[in-house]
Amino acid sequence: MFDALKEKLSGIFSRLSSKGKLSEADVDTALREVRRSLLEADVDFRVAKDLVAKIRERAITLDVLQSISANDRIAAIVYEELIFLMGRNEPLIISPKPPTVILLAGLQGSGKTTTAVKLARYLKGSHNPLVVACDLRRPAAVEQLRVLAEGAKVAFFGPDGKKSDVLSVVKGAAKYSESHMNDVIILDTAGRLHIDDDLMSELKSIAEILPPHEKILVVDSMMGQEAVNVAKSFHALLTLTGLILTKLDGDSRGGSALAVRAVTGIPVKFVGTGEATDALEPFSPERIAGRIMGMGDIQGLVEKVKAAGLDSQAIKTPEKLAKQFTLETLLQQFEQIEKLGPLGKIAGMIPGLDKIKNFRADDVDESMLRRNKAIIQSMTREERRNPKIIKGSRRRRIAQGSGTSVQMVNQLLAQYEQMKKMFKAFSSGSGGGRKLKSLLGFGR
């Protein structure tokens, strides 16, 4: 997802020369491109305009870390602003007094029925959810929900006869949930081509019988900019509590995710990433911004580490790394990375690694890792802790000891220096806080 925007932005940043100091003209040239890319990626024009103005202000007034290249600085500002724009991930509202009622509304085909079952499946580990078929307009809708629910092993409630009306279904569901101990009720409602009075009064009367704790608009992200208008209209009539953006798997124009939250103020709670009922992910602004920018999927890495059953502390954050980054640390990192499996993939997730000259994810292979490990292992403890002392004769000895060449030793040492510099840049001047704040030397 978001490939188009990512491609454009990285194109812009690579065109910007890496001169230390930015002129206003540089910034403006870059920002014109950023603005155009955002618009092409379907970001609402007002949002794009505000975003660009903010970036400009920060990029020209603050020129702190001269050692960081201009494009890195602008990239980091854009990253921060994208995250800010998308807001924090907000969890589902779960009522302290069960049952929690979740109403799903949205235009025709936006993904309500699928999402109802996805949500139930998502909650199944911690709750006993019930999905309720409230769409009696489309003949096959009830059956669709029933079949999906059955496939996902989720409790289902629907009309018992052909003549049922929506309100009696909702009343029936309330009773059913009591006797079956369902603590979450998810209501799948009918869709329309356009927002109309009929739809709204139906939603309102459902809400009177089972007052929803969550009123979630299910939005098809392929709608592009129109998503903002749809969200605004539903919000005006229903006072929404959240959004779920669907079909992000098939969408390269991902700007709707950036824009809806910014314009409406309603948090995006989940994103749908496929047709299967397990293709639902909590919305993560960092992850999406990181992917847009190609700046390393930090969270993805942490998850991968957890899944591999390793200590998440073992993979250090840039801040931790900067404090004491020696060749010993590097060796430990290599060892941890080795345990994680397919290297090219992992390397792409390590923050900043792709920014290092001559360090392309594709080049990371097991043999290089083994070679670098052997080089560090052939050093004395003192050398590992204080690589500055590794001069000509030591380099020859290490090359011999590790069965490599002086050139390879040089290469590793140069890489180490580059990483060290980068981690320093990542962390200087901040004691925690936002990950990239320090790359800029300032932040929110």
Ligand X SMILES: Nc1nc2c(ncn2[C@@H]2O[C@H](COP(=O)(O)OP(=O)(O)OP(=O)(O)O)[C@@H](O)[C@H]2O)c(=O)[nH]1
Provide the binding-site residues for ligand X, judged by CB under 6 A.
106, 108-114, 135, 138, 141, 191, 246-247, 249-250, 272-275, 279
Measured over all CA atoms, what is the biggest interatomic distance in the chain, rounded to whole angstroms? 91
Task: In angstroms, give the least distance from the CB of 324 to ligand X.
Answer: 44
DSSP state of 162: T
178 touches, from Mg ion, ligand X, none (C-beta below 5 to 8 Å by class): none
Residue ranges in 62-185 assigned as alpha helix (H): 70-86, 112-123, 141-151, 166-179
Contacts of 211 (CB under 8 A, 6+ apart): 101
Q: Which is nearer to Mg ion, 112 or 269 (CB)?
A: 112
108 touches, from ligand X, Mg ion, none (C-beta below 5 to 8 Å by class): ligand X
Residue number closest to ligand X, CB atom? 191
In 3D, which of 143, 103, 98, 140 has the Cα closest to residue 119? 103
Q: Which is nearer to Mg ion, 112 or 213 (CB)?
A: 112
Task: In angstroms, give the least distance from the CB of 250 to ligand X.
Answer: 5
Q: Which is nearer to ligand X, 131 or 330 (CB)?
A: 131
Task: In angstroms, give the least distance from the CB of 177 to ligand X.
Answer: 21
Q: Please compute, for residue 380, the number of CA atoms within 13 A of its CA located in the half-sphere on the CB side.
A: 9
Task: In angstroms, give the least distance from the CB of 232 to Mg ion.
Answer: 22
Task: In angstroms, give the least distance from the CB of 154 to Mg ion.
Answer: 15
Q: Which is nearer to ligand X, 275 or 365 (CB)?
A: 275
Q: Please write down the HEC assignment for all residues of 271-325.
A: EECCCCCCCEEECCHHHHHHHHHCCCCHHHHHHHHHHCCCCCCCCCCHHHHHHCC
Q: What are phi and psi of 162, to 5 degrees?
A: -65, -25
d(CA 207, CA 211): 5
Q: Which is nearer to Mg ion, 113 or 404 (CB)?
A: 113
Task: In angstroms, give the least distance from the CB of 146 to Mg ion.
Answer: 12
Q: Which is nearer to ligand X, 100 or 273 (CB)?
A: 273
Q: Is 64 helix (H, G, I), strand (E, B) or coil?
A: coil
293 touches, from ligand X, Mg ion, none (C-beta below 5 to 8 Å by class): none
d(CA 172, CA 255): 40
Residues interacting with Mg ion, by CB under 5 A?
112-113
235 touches, from Mg ion, ligand X, none (C-beta below 5 to 8 Å by class): none
